[in-house]
Chains A and B, each alone.
Chain A
């Protein structure tokens, strides 16, 4: 498939607020991208007309109950069959920030035995507590076949901002972490600018996440969620220090995520 034939669906509901920037990133790569409200997607459109599904950042349904919980359960109740087919056919799903919380609450991530009925992980209240908006460093753990990061070299350090109050990645026990590591599902970890892992220390690890985890994928590598915002690090002029750089780069590290998932689809379908 040619790049310009790839179709991206960005889903929004009340409280979503990163849909426009996310669309701009995909459009810069030359793919057909549209934003659809859940009501429109579930009544007038067919999810399977798209190749990539994106849950963008924001505060869907006011983050009530738990961040991401309401949209996760609502979408499964309305178009769960289409979501399952989407995943079974290996079409990529990308969840950014609130999108990651949604994928975890929906049981799509970590998805150790396919889509789980109840969450197998959680994104709990930050430690230290509070909404945190700041730039962080991430290390790409490579090795895996993750559709959304396959173009990024192993151990490459990436710089992106986080902006959340509930991003502390949790699992029920250490054995589950071992399974994630064995499967190569841990994709991004918080680190410092030299690439040394944060080891739980603030501010390198901005939320107290277990094992400094910032992003994971499912065992097939097609469903990927991350707390940082690649769409806010897409262009060089979005970098916090671009005015002091002399010649700032045209693009930031966030582009690598969008480029990976688009080229994955173009190659596979």
Chain B
């Protein structure tokens, strides 16, 4: 079965996000009343798995092994069966 995972990797709360802070300053320059910006990275991954549970296990492993660094990153994901084109 084909599955699609949407994985979001972002800095853990409390970690300074210089990219987010710079973006916030730029938005304030444009006269928006922005209090905070946090930047995250989203991966859309299409892959084969035997079941939804299997697919979730695989994505969890992908996050731990490559997509996130546990020292600074949090991650969350949503997995669903890929729709046929």
Contact = CB atoms under 8 A, between A and B. Distances in A.
Interface of A: 65-66, 69-70, 73, 105, 118-122, 124-129, 170-172, 208
Given A119-B69, A208-B16, 4 more contacts: A70-B66, A105-B69, A126-B18, A170-B72
B71 A121 contact: yes
Contact of A171 (B17, B64, B71): B71
**Chain A's interface: helix, strand, loop or mixed, by majority?**
loop
Contacts of B15: 124, 170
Contact of A129 (B18, B65, B66, B71): B18
Interface string B56-79: 000000001111011110000000
Contacts of B44: none
Contacts of B22: 129
A119 B66 contact: no
Contact of B19 (A118, A125, A208): A125
Contacts of A65: 66-67
Q: Most chain-A CB neighbours within 10 Å: which of B64, B67, B72?
A: B72
Contact of B70 (A119, A125, A129, A208): A119
A69 B19 contact: no
B72 A118 contact: no
22 contacts: A65-B66, A66-B69, A70-B66, A73-B66, A105-B69, A118-B64, A118-B65, A119-B69, A119-B70, A119-B71, A120-B71, A121-B71, A122-B69, A122-B71, A125-B17, A125-B18, A127-B16, A129-B18, A129-B19, A129-B21, A129-B22, A171-B71
A241 B36 CA distance: 43
A127 B70 CA distance: 20
Contacts of B69: 66, 69, 105, 118-119, 122
Contacts of B21: 129
B5 to A, nearest CB: 15
Nearest to B16: A127
Contacts of B65: 73, 118
A131 B20 CA distance: 16
A111 to B, nearest CB: 14
Interface string B30-43: 00000000000000
Contacts of B66: 65, 69-70, 73
B70 A128 contact: no
A124 B71 CA distance: 10
Given A69-B66, A73-B65, A122 B19 contact: no
B1 to A, nearest CB: 25
